Amino acid sequence: MDLWEARERISRGDFSLGELIDSLWASIEAREGEVHAFLSLADPRELKRKGDELSEKTLRGIPIAVKDNISTVGFPTTCGSKFLARFEPVFDATAVERLKAAGAQVQGKTNLDEFAMGSSTEHSAFGPTRNPHDPERVPGGSSGGSAAAVAAGEALVALGSDTGGSVRQPAALCGAVGLRPTYGLVSRWGLVAFASSLDQIGPITRSVRDCALILSLIAGHDPRDSTSLPVKPRNYIQDLEGGIEGWKFGLPREYVPRELGPEVLSLVDRWSALIEELGGRVVEISLPLTEYALPVYYLIASAEASANLARFDGVRYTVSASGETVREMIAASRTLGFGREVKRRIMLGTFALSAGYYDRYYGKAQRVRTLIGREFAEAFGEVDLIFGPTSPTPAFRFGEKEDPIAMYLSDIFTLPSALAGLPAISIPGGKIEGLPFGLQLIAPRLEEGKLLRAAYALEQVLA
Ligand code: GLN
């Protein structure tokens, strides 16, 4: 059951909000000990009590899980870091505020790689999340807690954040739907900054229509975010029906390299066949700059992270070590407060921005980023949408990607569109080795309507 159906059945009187909350908590009791999707949880009695006042609103008081780098009143916002272990924001993020205004309640906060840096949720200071389909495997990341909560039946929908793939890749690995909106469509106000030119909040759900519903509620201009686009809210549910007859789908040859193996390649062939059965046309295209997306992303994202994370100095927030001088105190706090991966990014980013290297690394990465955007724009002169796998493999085992580059490669297909600021969605595309495998669709800027319509059509035939 998705949120849409839950909402309709509550309105019809099939069951009450209280019964829905009980059934979510029954799943939490049954699965959470193993899955560990949540870092904090609401009191279900309180949710039931407050829910009664919300019965007339769009979301009927239904609880929604929120990634723990999105600010919420009444819960800590830890970012999966020791640094913020006891940090409680005094305001709600705009996305949360808008969902609450529509009658949602915060169900709890979900686990993530520290400061959203990672692809497996192994790098949380509070322990890993496990994949509900196989506890030996990672749920993906960094929004692994959000995707696992939805996949385990512990939540109907969750918010995640996607800087380079963190909504789409865990959705793919957990068999959920995950949407990254156009950069600037959803406000970043209240999302703890990792890489500000890339960060976007997006929904992780059980169905495409739930993504459309949540996006309709959270999208739209917010004066508190200087990069928020001047667009009006829109009802994306209206876009879903209509199908893909006559639409042209580009399959970039760089997104289906031989190395993916015969099982994945034959699944991609099946997707092409289904698109054609629905009246669409599949054409091979080429995005030759794809191979530069990974180095460009890791230079830009790390550079921005090194600036954003400078605010964690041990004077404010929670971790605070002592030292003889201010400099030593800050260094000691950071040594204690940040995990290995976060330190790696800060060092890489500081290096890329330092005098003498700035132009060679950061400046060059910015120029290549512009070219990647241009390459997509040219492709969209030819095709309506682009598709391919969300991630090169299904869920991998814990500890399997010790080498950071091996880990970074799991985002190889989600990084280019993030750099270009484009909307993209991952939907369940079938199974590989018995595990969920995601199909990614990418659209031109602000074409979420088209993106969701194609995803909706494909969802019907893939189910
Ligand atoms: N896995 C990528 C990284 O480690 C993307 C993370 C994200 O989108 N937040 O940076």
pLDDT tens, residue by residue, 201-231 = 999 999 999 999 999 999 999 999 999 999 9
pTM: 0.97
Residue pair 154/125 in contact (Cβ under 8 Å)? The answer is no
Q: Is the CB of 118 under 6 A from ligand 1?
A: yes
Give the whole-angstrom CA distance, residue 40 versus residue 165. 24
Question: Which residue has its alpha carbon closest to ligand 1 atom 5?
Answer: 164
pLDDT classification of 406: cutoffs 50, 70, 90: confident
| pLDDT surpasses 90 at 175 | yes
Q: What angle do CA 347, 353, 354 make, to 5 degrees?
A: 85
Superfamily covering domain 1-284+384-463: Amidase signature (AS) domain (3.90.1300.10)
Q: Is 272 a catalytic residue?
A: no
How would residue 460 be classed by pLDDT, with cut points 50, 70 and 90? very high
The atom of ligand 1 lying closest to the CA of 163 is 8
Q: Is 119 in the pocket of ligand 1 (CB under 6 A)?
A: yes
Q: What is the phi-psi region of residue 323: left when phi exceeds 0, alpha when psi lies from -120 to 50, beta otherwise? A: beta
Q: Which of 40, 166, 187, 228 is catalytic?
A: 166
Q: Looking at the predicted structure, is the pLDDT value of residue 127 above 90?
A: yes
As beta bridge partners, residue 63 has 105
Q: How far is 374 from 237, CA to CA, in rounded Å?
A: 30
CA of 143 to the centre of ligand 1 (A): 9
Going from N- to C-terminal start, the domains of the chain cover 1-284+384-463
Measured from the Cα of 418, ligand 1's closest atom is 8
Catalytic position from the list 40, 48, 67, 124: 67
Indicate if the pLDDT at residue 404 is higher than 90. no
Radius of gyration of the CA atoms of the chain, in A: 21
pLDDT at 405: 87
Mutate to test the pocket of ligand 1, among 111, 143, 163, 415 (most ligand atoms within 8 A of CB): 163
Q: Whole-number mean pLDDT of the chain?
A: 96
How confident is residue 323, by pLDDT bands cut at 50, 70 and 90? confident
| Per-residue model confidence as pLDDT tens digits over 18-42 | 999 999 999 999 999 999 999 999 9
Please tell me the distance from the alpha carbon of residue 393 to that of residue 264, in angstroms, as a whole number.
8
